[in-house]
């Protein structure tokens, strides 16, 4: 396949997709408060290389029915596709993405932790909206193994900080569902030097009156 990403053309040679969550179920809290189990929407991972860069490239895409996340490592440069959230375009809800090269990202960090410390895996879920929301969080490792799942009912400006977990992988995938009808995915790579935690945030587009999910990273 051909791909134009962050100013660069690629020809990718991809392997067939792997259905990483086959047979898995998720818990959904209905409007009446009851919780039901249902089969998860399929999540597929595709791996491959950049053509003519067999030894110096690596490609990974994670895709479900709504979301596309991806990284292309090519000749010491990493190109990324990430989801920022949702937006309205001519009264149509659309996924908002950003595509960039990691070398173009500027980081400013002040670490309060000693170098070399083994940092835990943590994340924060916050409701920045003035209305309450129900949000479900599923956390997968890079192989598609489900590590954590829970459902939270958050009042306005309430947040939860689940217990920290052992950090055993280089990359994680968060699948988040807001009010049973808005789904977002976040490809989270923990910082290898400073403490970092994934930030899952509910906010509101007050021009449309619609709540949506945004993702980020907290670094200390």
Between 192 and 147, residue with greater pLDDT: 147
In this model, does residue 116 exceed pLDDT 60? no
The arithmetic mean of pLDDT across residues 188-207, rounded, is 79
Mean pLDDT score of the chain: 82
Confidence of residue 183 (pLDDT cuts 50, 70, 90): confident
In this model, does residue 178 exceed pLDDT 70? yes
pTM of the model: 0.55
Instruction: For residue 94, give the 3-state DSSP assignment.
Output: strand
Flag the least confident range among 100-104, 128-132, 134-138, 205-209: 205-209
Work out whether the CA dihedral 74, 58, 188, 81 comes out positive or negative.
Answer: positive
209-220, pLDDT tens digit by residue?
788 888 888 765
In this model, does residue 119 exceed pLDDT 90? no
Between 206 and 62, residue with greater pLDDT: 62
Percent of residues, the chain, with pLDDT higher than 70? 85
Confidence of residue 115 (pLDDT cuts 50, 70, 90): very low
- Let me know the angle formed at the C-alpha of 98 by 93 and 99, rounded to the nearest 5 degrees: 140
Between 129 and 66, residue with greater pLDDT: 129
| Residue 74, C-beta contacts closer than 8 angstroms, at least 6 positions apart | 8, 10, 50, 53, 56, 57
78-107, pLDDT tens digit by residue?
999 887 766 667 777 677 788 888 888 776
Model pLDDT, residue 65: 80
Whether 41 contacts 22, CB under 8 Å: no
The arithmetic mean of pLDDT across residues 27-34, rounded, is 69
Token pair for 119: 């940092």
């Amino acid at each position: 396949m051909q791909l134009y990403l962050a100013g660069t053309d690629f020809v990718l040679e991809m392997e067939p997709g792997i259905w990483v969550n086959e047979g898995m179920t998720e818990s959904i809290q209905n409007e009446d408060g009851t919780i039901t189990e249902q089969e998860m929407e399929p999540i597929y991972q595709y791996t491959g290389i950049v053509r003519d860069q067999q030894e110096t490239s690596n490609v990974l895409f994670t895709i479900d029915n709504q979301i596309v996340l991806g990284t292309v490592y090519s000749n010491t440069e990493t190109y990324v596709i990430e989801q920022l959230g949702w937006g309205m375009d001519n009264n149509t809800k659309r996924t908002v993405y950003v595509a960039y090269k990691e070398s173009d990202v500027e980081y400013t960090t002040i670490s309060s932790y000693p170098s070399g410390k083994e940092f835990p895996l943590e994340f924060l879920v916050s409701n920045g909206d003035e209305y309450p929301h129900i949000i479900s969080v599923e956390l997968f490792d890079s192989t598609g193994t489900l590590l954590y799942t829970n459902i939270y009912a958050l009042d306005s400006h309430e947040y939860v900080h689940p217990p920290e977990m052992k950090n055993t992988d280089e990359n994680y995938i968060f699948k988040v569902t807001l009010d049973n009808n808005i789904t977002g995915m976040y490809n989270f790579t923990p910082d290898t030097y400073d403490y970092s935690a994934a930030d899952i945030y509910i906010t509101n587009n007050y021009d449309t009156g619609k709540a949506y999910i945004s993702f980020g990273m907290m670094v200390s």
